[in-house]
Chain A
């Protein structure tokens, strides 16, 4: 049904003549965006990953070539993928990335959940202020904030100086260029992405449910684990995804805070592209990473759909 003012109706009629409904049109715009800025580059990447590195410009073999008899040959090989699977470096880099991202996600959840919970339970005027404080770090550059952490963590940094000044330690702690620093950097940076979806979920939690649980004999701790936590599962999933996915491919934090042993796929990618100038292998690395990230999301989606269905 078409309602609304005359100009809108006119447009709708014109669009309708082209065989398009308003609904298709509304969906078409983001679809077009994704097509141009995501899917097309993705295919370019896929195509490069099937080529071979050469010293040329661009530094990979063309996909189509004229054979000696003038026929068109398609040159594509999965050699790069085979290489990724056999070389331990890449496998370790993937595993290490997943581990660092997973551990960071767990810590972000453990820190973010109570914060989100208390913001959601705070009285209304204070709630907006607390939310503002959560978002506030976004107002300065991400890079600056990571550099600020370097000032805190390094041997002659704020934390070491303070602890030594108080006499807690004699020798400065080595924190910079360790996995520990990388965890701190990732958890710190992505914490708001954990808090915001959790907050959105927890504010919707009906207080009467908590009262009902306590009325039925559940202590506050039992109430939390039997009512609050299961009901906030969608928020936990959303927040964890928002932390885990970018953390896997994180490049800047391990590069600035991590040490030589910190192996993450983002760094490997950088080295392949700019160090070795091996675009095909780098492209294959990127595609595999994408698959690694997309697979758990699709699985979660299907689990949630199934749960919604029954």
Chain B
């Protein structure tokens, strides 16, 4: 069977000549004595669902608020569809925002909340309410149009906020932790609903979140932020498989990190000497010189566990299962190597019936050279 090709225009960031729809250039925001956002450059393409991911205080919300117009940048440009908007007040921007607290007007009914933005555009009452009604139908709330926000559940309020932000068909929709207030089950359902709505309307979304699972599920691309800087921008699998720094590797998912030095570089193979694993063989990487300080990163699921020494494996070590956690679809192991280093490994449970490796068993752990990611910062 042929693999379906991903149409080129759904990933415009891959083509060199593509025009970004939103372009943030050299953006800086300083508050009295602290820099919330320092020198951010970011290009976002039409129809993207871009996630800004980071811990609280990393500057992602400030960046979003500058895009919405609630904060005036200290420096830099925000170009939206060809126009510099950095100093345009929020009521004159083609952007809308879905607030983390939803910020629904408590004195207005659901339908009045949704129609509010349309009425401000000067649309007639009849048409505004008709369009608000369509939007409420899309988020499946048409029956609750006359309710007040305090008569709704959290999930319903979230959908009203989404409808209100989308009804003006903004060029750019900003979502601040859109699913943060929902419980886990509802959050997972809503994630896919959000993607569906975004795709059907073709609106460009920028989502701020601290939840990496949410970012991985939603995003076309993710920007990982720390201390006011975007550390890495990439598609979810790039961020996960090819992190560019120890911070990103550690922030997204779980990782085993090993200090080491580049020992030998050959055209088809490279060797790094690590303190805890000894020499490790991996495919060569450009831009590395002999003796350079590097870090090796391995995801837990990339380790293979076996009772016998695997044949022909270069990168294999002996250890003992110190602890394990069975969580259904997989089992997480903590394996103590002979030199005392603790390794996190996980095994898929497709083969769980066949006498699984258990507590205190001596095991071999091995890793394919390609699964070893070398980080320089």
Contact = CB atoms under 8 A, between A and B. Distances in A.
> Do A and B come from the same complex?
yes
A217 B105 contact: no
Contacts of A211: 68, 70, 90, 97, 99, 103
A84 interface: no
Nearest to A216: B117
B68 A215 contact: yes
B103 A209 contact: yes
Given A211-B70, A222-B120, A217 B91 contact: yes
A213 interface: yes
Given A211-B70, A215-B68, A231 B107 contact: yes
A214 B116 CA distance: 11
A227 B105 contact: yes
A218 interface: yes
Interface string B297-337: 00000000000000000000000000000000000000000
Given A206-B103, A222-B120, A212 B97 contact: yes
A212, A213, A214, A227: residue with the most chain B Cβ atoms closer than 10 Å? A212
A211 B103 CA distance: 9
B101 interface: yes
A219 interface: yes
B96 A208 contact: no
B91 A215 contact: yes
B168 interface: yes
Report, as a range, how many residues of chain A touch the other chain: 10 to 19
Interface string B77-111: 00000000000011110011101010111110000
Interface in B174-210: none
Contact of B91 (A209, A214, A226, A230): A214
B171 interface: no
A271 to B, nearest CB: 47
B268 interface: no
Given A217-B91, A218-B91, A212 B105 contact: yes
A209 B96 contact: no
A172 B103 CA distance: 55
A208 B90 contact: no
B164 interface: yes
A215 B101 contact: no
Contacts of B68: 211, 215
A291 B167 CA distance: 51
Nearest to A217: B120
B120, B121, B164: residue with the most chain A Cβ atoms closer than 10 Å? B120
A208 B103 contact: yes
A208 B105 CA distance: 10
B90 A214 contact: yes
A219 B104 CA distance: 18
Contact of A215 (B97, B106, B107, B121): B97
A215 to B, nearest CB: 5
B91 A208 contact: no
Given A206-B101, A208-B99, A208-B101, A213 B107 contact: no
Nearest to B116: A216
Contacts of B121: 217
Given A211-B90, A218-B91, A231 B99 contact: no
Interface string A229-251: 01100000000000000000000
B91 A212 contact: no
A8 B89 CA distance: 60
Contacts of A217: 91-92, 117, 120-121, 168
A54 B214 CA distance: 87
B164 to A, nearest CB: 7
Interface string B234-254: 000000000000000000000
Interface string A199-211: 0000000101101
Contacts of B70: 211, 215
10 contacts: A208-B101, A212-B99, A213-B116, A214-B89, A215-B69, A216-B116, A216-B164, A217-B117, A222-B120, A231-B107
* Pairs of residues from A and B, 8 with the lowest C-beta to C-beta distance, nearest first: A216-B117, A217-B120, A208-B103, A212-B103, A214-B90, A214-B91, A215-B97, A230-B107
Given A208-B99, A208-B103, A218-B116, 17 more contacts: A206-B101, A206-B103, A209-B105, A209-B106, A211-B99, A212-B97, A212-B105, A214-B69, A215-B91, A216-B168, A217-B92, A217-B117, A217-B120, A217-B121, A218-B91, A222-B120, A230-B107
